[in-house]
Amino acid sequence: MSRSASLAAYFRAAAWRRLDRVEPNDDDRNARSALALLDAAAYAADLPEDDPLIIRLDEAGCFGLLGCDEFDPGEAGERLVRDWSGGEPHELLLAIPQAMTTGA
């Protein structure tokens, strides 16, 4: 699986987790987050492997050791993705390495 495909799969799985959440009175927050993550997944799936965003995620260590292509943004990156409520897909991709370095 390519890194772009792995990234897209990660975002799709995160979107499904948001859709599966049942929270009374969430004001459609989970649905909006799921749509934003699906948008990010579609965006990521179309990125070439040499795209600067993919390279930046790789340099941040999001694709594991020894050339593993499975996307893993670490705890801080997971938290960012889990709480993502919307914005442009590239903004999410730019925010993940920053979250990993700051722990935010």
DSSP characters over 8-43: HHHHHHHHHHHHH---TT-TTHHHHHHHHHHHHHHH
Q: What local confidence, expressed as pLDDT, does residue 79 receive?
A: 94
Of the pLDDT bands very low, low, confident and very high (cuts 50, 70, 90), residue 6 is very high
| SS3 category, 82 | helix
Joined together, the tokens standing for residue 40 give 């990010």
pLDDT digit string (tens) for 44-73? 999 999 999 999 999 998 987 655 678 999
Q: Tell me what pLDDT residue 65 has.
A: 64
